[in-house]
Amino acid sequence: MAISETDDDGNSIASFLDTINSSTSAIKGHVRLADKDDAGDFILFAITNTITDSGDFRQIPISNEAQGGSALTNGEDIIASFVVTGDKGD
């Protein structure tokens, strides 16, 4: 998955994404993508390896864990929520 290093307001999230990389656990954390207007429409992914810096965006290696509601569609306004796994919190 590719994600911009800035949010909708132009604020940098790069240092937060760097924090995820500091986890030594096999699963570094989880990211949940949800429809901004209907939180019941979501996809939950495990972050499975180190996040790669690709300039203005980051490449996040993921695997699908769960989903609910209706499928998210291209161009839909979403909220991305992250949870970091503690060191060796496997």
Phi and psi at residue 51, in whole multiples of 5°? Answer: -75, 135
Give the per-residue pLDDT at 62: 97
- β-sheet with 52-53: strand ranges across: 2-4, 57-59, 52-53
Contacts of 34 (CB under 8 A, 6+ apart): 41, 42, 78, 79, 81
**Confidence category of residue 24, pLDDT binned at 50, 70, 90:** confident
Q: What is the pTM of this model?
A: 0.87
Question: What are the tens digits of pLDDT across the range 42-83?
Answer: 999 999 999 999 999 999 999 999 999 998 988 899 999 999
